[in-house]
Amino acid sequence: MRKPLVAALLSVALSAGMAGTAGTAAPAAADTIPDGPGRGFVPAYVGGPATPKPLAGRPVPANPHQGPVGLSSMHADSYASDTYPFMGPLGRNPEVLNEAKGGGLPGLCSTVTFARRTGLIVAQCTRGQNFVLRLIDPKTLKDLATYDLPPRPSTVQAVFSLSLDKVFTDTSGGAYYYLDPQDRAVIADSAFHLRRFAHEKGPDGTWRFTVTDDWDLSRYLPHDCATWTNPWPKGECDPITAVGPDWDGLIWWITRNGRIGTVDPGTGTVRMTRLPGESIQNSFATADDGVSIVSDHALYRMRADENGTPEVLWRQPYDRGSARKPGQIDQGSGTTPTFFGDGYVAITDNADDRMNIIVRRRNDGRPICRIPVFGSGASATDNTLVGYGDSLFIENNYGYRNFFELPPGGSTVGGVSRVDVKPDGNGCETVWTSKERSPSTVPKVSVPAGLLYLYTKEPRNDFIDAWYLTAVDVHTGRTVYKVLTGTGKWFDNNWAPITIGPDGTAYLGVIGGLVAVRDRE
C-alpha cells in the first residue's frame, strides 16, 4: 500500500474519531474553497444565456407527509423525479459563490434541502468522514447551526483494511433523509437511531437543531459494527441506507443487507421484512399506490399491510451483470427507482456490454421497454434517472470510482441521453445523446427552464481539473452554457447531487464544501 494512501486513511480516522454530538451554533467564520492550479488558463464562462422553454408533462404530485415538491429530499420529491417546478439559473451574468465546510478537511454536502417556513438550507455534509447536519444561509452559504451525527463503521473498516473503497461504497449514515411538512429533517444515523430534527432560534437569538423524536432501531437490526476498539467484529452490521414516508404516513427505512421496515410515528410501532440474499444501496420512490425499491437483484413494488409490515406486490429481476463496473458502487442497478409519466417506474440494469434503461408499469410490473444506452463495454451509472412527462435523462458514469482515484486532468467516457416512452406506451426511443462528460453528479432538470443541469469535466493534457455547472437544452441536447465553479480536487463532487433552490440558484456539494451558481440579473 502506498504511503500517501495510508496517510489519507489515518487522516480520515482522526477526523471521524474526534467528532462530537453537540447541536450548538456553528462558528461564524469560514474559508472559501481553495482552487487548484490553472484557474487563469480555463474559460470562466462558455456559451450564452438560455431562453426558457418548459418540458412537457404533468406536475409531480406532493406526498402529504413530505415537504413541498422540489424542496425536501436529495431527489427533489417522493417520486424521485429529480425535477424542479421552479426556474433554474439561465446563465445570465452568473455569479459563483462557495464556502468550505470541512474545517480544513473534506466537507462535501451530499444532500441539500430547503425549509419552507424559514427559507434556510438544511444540509447533510461531511467533516472528514463524519456526517454533519447543517443549517445554512442560502444567500451567503454561512453556517447558522450544526449538529454532528455519529461516525460510520465504514470509516473504521477503511482504516484497518487500508481500503478507501469501504467508505466510498457506503451510502448509509444519513444522506438519504427528507424534510417533513413541518420542516423537520428525518434522518437514520449510523447509531441505528431514526430521529426528527427541528431548527429554531434559541433565547439568545442563535439558531440551533433540536431532536423532537427518536426511535431506536438497534433492537430490530444487527449492529455488531466496527469500532476503533473492536475493528473486526464477528457479528453482522446492517446499517440503514435511506428513509422516506409513504402516502399513509408511515416512515419507511431500508438497510444495506436488504431489510425493509416501517415506523408508525404516532405509536412508535416498528414492522420489518427482508429480501434474503439481496442488498440495497440506493433510495426508494413512493406514490399513493405504493413504494418502489431496487435491490442488487430485482425491482420491487411494495405496500404496507394493515399492521404496517412491508409486503411485496410484485418482483421483477433484471440483468445484474457479472461484476461491478467502474462507475458504480456495487454489482447491480445504480439507480433509485423513478416514477414518471402515465404510471411508469424506471431503473437501469448492470448488463455487461451495454447498460439498459428498464421501464415498467407501476401497478403490475408489466414491461414497457428495455433500451440500451451508451457505448459497448463503456456504460454504467450510479445516479438516478431524471424523469418527467414521458422523458428520462441519464448520464454515463463509466470510469469514475471516487475523487481520490480520478487522475489530474482525467475524466470519464461521458455521454448523456434522453430516452422517451413512445406516445402509445409501447416501447421507448432515444431522442438525443450529448457528448458531455458528467463524471458522478446526480443531474437535475428545471421544468420551466427546460434545462438539464450537469457537473462536467473535460480531459486535459495540461492536468488542469476544471469543473463546470453545465446547462443542456432538454429538447435538443444542445449545450447552452457552462459556468466554471473551480479547479482542482476540492471541486470534485464525488457523487453529490446538483440541487436547484426555489430562488433559482444551483447548489453543488463538492469535496471542499458547498458551491452556489446564480444569475445576477
Spatial separation of the C-alpha atoms in residues 472 and 444, rounded to whole Å = 10
pLDDT given for residue 466 in this prediction: 98
Class of residue 310 by CB neighbours under 10 A (exposed 0-12, middle 13-18, buried 19+): buried
| pLDDT beyond 80 at 108 | yes
Please name the residues in contact with 85: beta carbons below 8 A apart, sequence gap of 6 or more.
59, 60, 69, 70, 447, 448
Give yes or no for residue 206 having a pLDDT over 90: yes
pLDDT of 35 > 50? The answer is yes
Neighbours of 42 (CB within 10 A): 17
Question: For residue 460, is it left (φ>0), alpha (ψ between -120 and 50) or beta?
Answer: beta
Integer angstrom CA distances of residue 292 from 300, 317, 395: 6, 13, 22
* CA–centroid distance for 396 within its chain: 16
Report the CATH superfamily, name and number, of domain 3-519: YVTN repeat-like/Quinoprotein amine dehydrogenase (2.130.10.10)
- Bridge-based pairing state of the strands 130-136 and 94-100: unpaired
Cβ of 21: how many Cβ atoms within 10 Å? 10
Q: What per-residue confidence (pLDDT) applies to 511?
A: 94
Distance CA 394, CA 416 (A): 6
Q: Are 104 and 208 in contact (CB under 8 A)?
A: no
Burial-class residue 394 by CB neighbours within 10 Å (0-12, 13-18, 19+): buried
Residue with cell 442497478: 333
- Asked whether the predicted pLDDT for residue 298 surpasses 70, the reply is yes
Closest to 35 in 3D by CA, of 455, 437, 465: 465
Q: Report the DSSP pairing between strands 83-84 and 94-100.
A: unpaired
Report which DSSP code applies to 491: G
> Residue 159 has what pLDDT?
86
pLDDT at 10 over 60: no
Residue range 463-479, pLDDT digits in tens: 999 999 999 999 999 99
List of residues 6+ apart from 215 with CB closer than 8 A: 193, 194, 195, 263, 268, 270
> By the 8 A CB rule, do 250 and 264 touch?
yes
**Helices (H), ranges, 58-112:** none
Q: Is the pLDDT reported for residue 3 higher than 70?
A: no
Query: Could you tell me if 299 and 366 are in contact, meaning their C-beta atoms sit under 8 angstroms apart?
Result: no
Q: How many residues does the chain have?
A: 521
Mean pLDDT score across all residues of the chain: 92
More confident residue, 277 or 105: 277
**C-alpha cell of 239?**
446499517
Q: Give the pLDDT confidence score for residue 170 in this predicted structure.
A: 79
Does the pLDDT of residue 126 top 90, yes or no? no
Look up the pTM and report it: 0.94
Q: What is the pLDDT of residue 26?
A: 39
pLDDT digits 0-9 by tens, 492-520: 999 999 999 999 999 999 999 999 999 99
Confidence bin at 379 (pLDDT 50/70/90): very high
Nearest to 361 by CA among 281, 297, 426: 426
> Do the beta carbons of residue 456 and residue 413 sit within 8 Å?
no
The pLDDT tens digits of the residues spanning 72-93 come to: 999 999 999 999 999 999 999 9
Rounded Cα–Cα distance for residues 253 and 326 (Å): 28
Can you tell me the distance from the alpha carbon of 63 to that of 275, in angstroms, rounded to the nearest whole number?
Answer: 26
pLDDT of residue 129: 62
Q: How many CA atoms lie within 13 A of 230 on its CB side?
A: 8
Residue-level pLDDT at 1: 35
Taking the C-alpha atoms of residue 397 and residue 327, their distance in angstroms, rounded to an integer, is 5
**Domains of the chain: which residue ranges?**
3-519
Other C-beta atoms lying within 10 Å of the C-beta of residue 461: 6
Give 126's strand partners. 131
Contact 324, 334 (CB under 8 A): no
Q: What separation in angstroms does the CA of 328 have from each of 80, 136, 283, 323, 470?
A: 19, 31, 15, 10, 22
- Residue range 400-411: mean pLDDT, rounded: 93
Stretch among 168-177, 243-252, 333-342, 456-465 having the lowest mean pLDDT:
168-177
**Better-predicted residue by pLDDT, 233 or 172:** 233
> What confidence category does residue 24 fall into, taking pLDDT thresholds of 50, 70 and 90?
very low
Single-letter code of the amino acid located at 287: A
Give the N- to C-terminal CA distance of the chain in Å, as an integer. Answer: 51
Question: Residue 452: helix, strand or coil by DSSP?
Answer: strand
pLDDT tier, 173 (very low <50, low <70, confident <90, very high otherwise) = confident
Statement: residue 235 has pLDDT above 50: yes
Contact 48, 22 (CB under 8 A): no
pLDDT at 296 over 80: yes
Sheet holding 344-348, edge to edge: 338-340, 344-348, 356-361, 367-372
Q: Reduce the DSSP state of residue 11 to 3 states and report it.
A: helix
